[in-house]
Structure 1
Amino acid sequence: MLLVASVLAFGPLQAQRGASTLRIAAAAIQQLDPYKSASNDEIHAFSLVFDPLIILSKDDFRPAPHLAESWENPDDTTWIFHLRQGVHFQDGNEVFPEGEGREVTAADVVYSIDRFMKVSTAFTLGEIESVEALDRYTVQIKTKYPDPFLIVDPNRLARVVVVPHEAVEQLGEDGFAQNPIGSGPFELRTFVPDEQVVFARNEDYWLTPGVDRVEFVFIPDPTVQNIALEVGEVDVLPYVFNIDTAQQLAQNPDIELYGRGGSYRGIGFNVQKPPFDEWEVRDAVARAMDITGAFRAVVGEEFGERAYGQVPPWVGFGYDPSLADLRPYDPEGAKAQLAAAGFADTDGDGFLDRDGKPLRVDIKTIAGSQTRVLTILATQLRELGIQASVVPLDTAVWAADLQTGNSEVFFDYSFAGTTGLHALFHSSAIGRTNTHFYSNPEVDALLDEASRTLDHSERDRLWKQAQRLIMEDRAAIPLYFELGFSAVNKRVKDWVVPWGGLYLVSLENNVRIED
């Protein structure tokens, strides 16, 4: 059942500001402690209450100032952050009475980072040696090794919002999770888990929020969320979960799609499983498919980008479209290569075999628009004499099969974030995120060096070099990058798709509603 958001009546001053209520669709919100959740809905909600040191820029995903006005590296393992002065914790609550919200200081940042490292259930900062307040507005973080990902990865420092110790101490862990207090642009007004979450503008915020109220409208079913947006019961779907839905919503003249980031889609091989432990077989399969044609037929340039490597353009380093030179579409050459590897149709059934075994490419996948792309590609392989099929699985079964090595060919999917290449192909991740069971010491060395390189240009060079080796080894066949979207009523202006948090008010944007 839809929870219909109530519309507030605004006074003359509020109307002059153009203020209103922003209604955001959500499936479930059970708690609001910012360090104890990886749920998108909960992250979106508590991001309104708190401020992080940095956010990732809406334009290039690079770290941008927020509570930290600036930072520098006096050496490769030291980060010094200079805080914005005059920012206060929210008042008018049971921790800070009206007019007594105290200033956010470096000591609060130290407390918050220490608490994050102790209680975070989903994210990590990496190898932190020490965190110290150098003075009231200066924080020093020392890392065990040079760590460029501390500030560029959306799941590292960008996840650490600043928390007042008094709120945790006075309310307790459980109380704080139900009644969060921070320094952010909105204050919690009502919280009934999975039923109602309402925030009001923080009138003392260091920027002026463009809306007075934010309500999360609980709609567990994604299909019903789409309908709610189209009929005007909600203003925003923060994430559109598949291309089919995005294509449908794009036809509505009252809805605007905001794109930002996305995910990598490919075909992966377990390179330890015969016959895919042979480079010639993996290469032939890659050359046999018209990937560009399948991509255009299902996804198209409006909703994705043809991929030739694993690193997408929004990561900021390692993106390399020149890898296209490794991906020629050459079905006849592929067939000849398989013949040279000993495959032939020895029994006249129209399919290639070797030593009495057919060449099978059974692609294990989960639900999603990629199934249509994979079906087109499997059809092309069958036309070439390869017994290919698409095998849909429950997500848990698919993931377990990949991690245990119970797959030969599979839908290769990742968040495509900052460290995605390392997660998918470094040998240290075999059996966890490296489900290709791929190991190349040269690739490992390059990724390790890049992961300790602060210089952006040098890290870009190393990441590209490692990625080219991986693609030359044919550990995977990149298909496309599927773009991520928010679907937003056109009355809503200046929306930014969430990335490491939902920021309605920042130095780069200020969400408002224009009737």
Structure 2
Amino acid sequence: MKKMTALILAAAMVFSLAGCSQEKSDAGGTADTAGAQAEASGERKIKDEIVFAQSSDLTTMNPCIGTQERAYSLTNHMYDTLLSYDSEMNLENSLAESYEWVDDLTLQLNIREGVTFHNGDPLTAEDVIFTFKQRAESGNAYKEYVDVDNLEAKDDHTVIMHFMTPHPSFIYQLTDPAWGIMPKNYFEEVGEEGFAKAPIGSGPYKLKEYVTGDYYTLERFEDYWGGPAKTQYLTMKIVPEAGQRTIMLETGEIDVAYEVPYVDAAKIIDNDDLQFLSTPSMKIVMFYLNTQSATPLSDKRVRQAIEYAIDKEAIVQAVCYGYGTVAYAIVPESVTEYKAVKEPHVYDLEKAKALMAEAGCADGFSMEIWTSSTQTNTEICQVIQEQLAAINIDAEILVQDANTIDARIDAGDEYGMSLHFYSCNSGHAEYTLSNILPTGMTRNDSRFSSAEYDEAYYKWLVTVDEAERDELLTTMYEIQNDETPVIPLYNEVKILGATKNLEGLELSMIGAHQFENAVVYVD
């Protein structure tokens, strides 16, 4: 059950799902646990619970709705997707034993037999179709090219999808944890609200108990089709303060700390009782530039000048302590259909000044930079603020809640630049390209509109011929580079800290780190 993962180093563990109570789990017990069994057989004893901490609580445990990274850390253990990735980013089968494009408009999915949900119900084609319809109702754009009302269960383990237009990259969506398969009968029995409180899936762990805003405990699902997880319990604690997560790791209160602040990396590396884990990610940190601004930002030469004036490597070193890779495309290099731009806007202050002069802006102008209130984001904006001063741009940093920023941009408020990130969760470029640049799309926060780009994009979506797709994709990337509605800064590296006794954890490029085979040995 690999969910777009990069194998790095510890051991996977698993989870199973049951009801929810408000009392603390007895996960610390040792009777009849893998650890006790190992001790009896003379093997190294393992803990029966792995505890990890992350910064934010979940908004929901419904995979179709909870599409944020903070949800994936839990739901990827509770649900299975039809397809997944191996550690080399190759597609592999999960709940779908195989798939076949019958023709350009028909996809057949062959569902694995013998899979059960946590309540014992068998997983069938009807559950897959139900989940697909839930995805459509949640607003996913795939309903624009799939005939959702004509999804067909050929038999209990065969799903036929009928497309209204060709869409060869669709299968990559099926790796996204947001496509975790849900049980139709149970969902309809308890309703959406009931399911949100007591969800079940078919993954290696099931929900045991939780206290919102505090912790979530999962229990191993013994009947998991891939075999039981190696550790009996998996607990996620919500610890907003990054420094506190590091302290809890140092004192042994938790086994794994997510989202380790860059400044704490050396502290973990130098601690003989801990191990430092890292993996490339699918996340690109980027600036949106308001192409419809009343300021000179509406001139692409000014936008290009800004990118030339930004020393991206300096940001990676100063803010990220070297944990990042400079980016010139809006998708990571590891995704399918990534293409490098031919003439990237590499840091060149003299080129930036020349472009400003050419645009009639040698004396500069004033604008606002919007960002959410994280330490890293603020530090990035401060570095950018200083760098833009070199081309006479007076940038005022305005810190706001992320939801407020989105709402103000959607409302059409005036702004200059806005710091965001985008994570390509499906591992395919379409995931990002479909939202950021086409006219009127969900997260086209730059308000960019190009008839040439739109024509290439919509043709690319439905083109099956690989050579033609490649040509269209090149056009799209080059337009993005030339028009510069978005400035990619860097590809984030995810860093975690863990006890030295952890083995088998499989790190994920989208943050859905996999504990299915993980163990923590007892000294």
Q: TM-score range by the shorter chain?
A: 0.7 to 0.9
Greater mean alpha carbon deviation, residues 175-184 or residues 308-317 = 175-184
Q: Secondary structure at the match of 1:326?
A: coil
Match for residue 329 of structure 1? Answer: 347
1:307 to 327, 336, 342: 327
Q: State the structure with bigger RCO (CA 8 A, min sep 6), 1 or 2.
A: 2
- Quote the Cα distance in structure 1 between the aligned partners of 2:513 and 2:178: 12
Say which is worse superposed, 269-278 or 306-315, in terms of deviation: 269-278
Matched, 1:280 2:301: yes
Residue pair 2:246, 2:260 contacting (<8 A) in 1 also: no
Count of residues in correspondence between the two structures? 479
1:371 paired to 2:378: yes
The one-letter code sitting in structure 2 at the alignment partner of 1:200 is E
- State the TM-score, normalized to the length of structure 2: 0.79
Structure 1 residue 445 corresponds to structure 2 residue 463: no
Does the 8 Å contact 1:178/1:191 carry over to 2?
no
Alpha-carbon distance between aligned partners in 2 of 1:374 and 1:192, rounded to the nearest angstrom: 36
Query: CA 1:256–1:142 in structure 2 vs 1: closer, same or farther (change >3 Å)?
Result: farther
Aligned counterpart, 1:338: 356
Percent sequence identity is 24
Partner of 1:7: 28
Aligned equivalents of 2:133 and 2:394: distance in 1? 55
Per the TM alignment, residue 498 of structure 1 is displaced from its structure 2 partner at its CA by: 4.7
Q: Is the contact made by 1:86 and 1:103 (CA closer than 8 Å) also made in structure 2?
A: yes
* C-alpha distance 144-250 of structure 1, shift in aligned 2 (>3 A): farther
Structure 2 distance, partners of 1:289, 1:184, is 44
Please say if residues 279 and 474 of structure 1, whose CA atoms lie closer than 8 Å, have aligned partners that are also in contact. yes
Structure 2 vs 1, CA of residues 110 and 23 (structure 1 numbering), >3 Å: closer, same or farther? Answer: same
1:406 — aligned with what? 414
Cα offset for 1:163? Answer: 3.3
Give the residue type in structure 1 aligned to 2:156. Answer: R
Select which of 187, 200, 206 maps to 1:168.
187
Tell me what 1:465 maps to. Answer: 475
Q: Is 442-451 or 105-114 further displaced after alignment?
A: 105-114
Partner in structure 2 of residue 51 of structure 1: 80
Counterpart for residue 182 of structure 1: 201
Encode CA deviations 1:274-328: one digit per residue, 9 max, x unaligned.
Answer: 3122233233333334333343333354x111111212123222241x54x3324
Task: Identify the residue that residue 97 of structure 1 maps to in structure 2.
Answer: none
Q: CA deviation at 1:140?
A: 1.4
> Does 454-463 or 268-277 show the bigger shift?
454-463
Question: Who is 1:271 aligned against?
Answer: 291
Deviation (angstroms), 1:224: 2.7
Give the deviation of 1:259 after TM superposition: 1.7
Aligned to 1:393: 400
CA apart distance, 1:260 = 4.1
Structure whose alpha-carbon radius of gyration is higher? 1
Partner of 1:360: 366
**Deviation of residue 513 (structure 1)?**
2.8
Stretch of structure 1 that moved more, 303-312 or 211-220: 211-220
| Contact 1:258/1:488 (8 A) holds in 2 | no
Return the alpha-carbon distance in structure 1 between the equivalents of residues 350 and 97 of structure 2: 58
Structure 1 gaps, min length 5: 92-100, 345-351, 353-357
Deviation of 1:66 after TM superposition, in Å, equals 0.9
What is the CA-CA distance between 1:193 and the residue it aligns to? Answer: 4.0
- Residues 1:456 and 1:53: Cα distance change in structure 2 (over 3 Å): farther
Cα RMSD over matched residues?
3.4
Inter-partner Cα distance in structure 1 for 2:394 and 2:216: 52
CA change 1:293–1:197 in 2 (3 A) is closer
Alignment of 1:94-493 (within 5 A): 101-118=120-137, 120=138, 123=140, 125-127=142-144, 128-129=146-147, 130-153=150-173, 158-195=177-214, 197-208=216-227, 209-237=229-257, 239-240=258-259, 243-244=262-263, 249-253=268-272, 254-273=274-293, 274-299=295-320, 301=322, 303-320=323-340, 322-323=341-342, 325-343=343-361, 352=363, 358-367=364-373, 368-403=375-410, 404-417=412-425, 418=429, 419-429=431-441, 432-454=442-464, 459-493=469-503
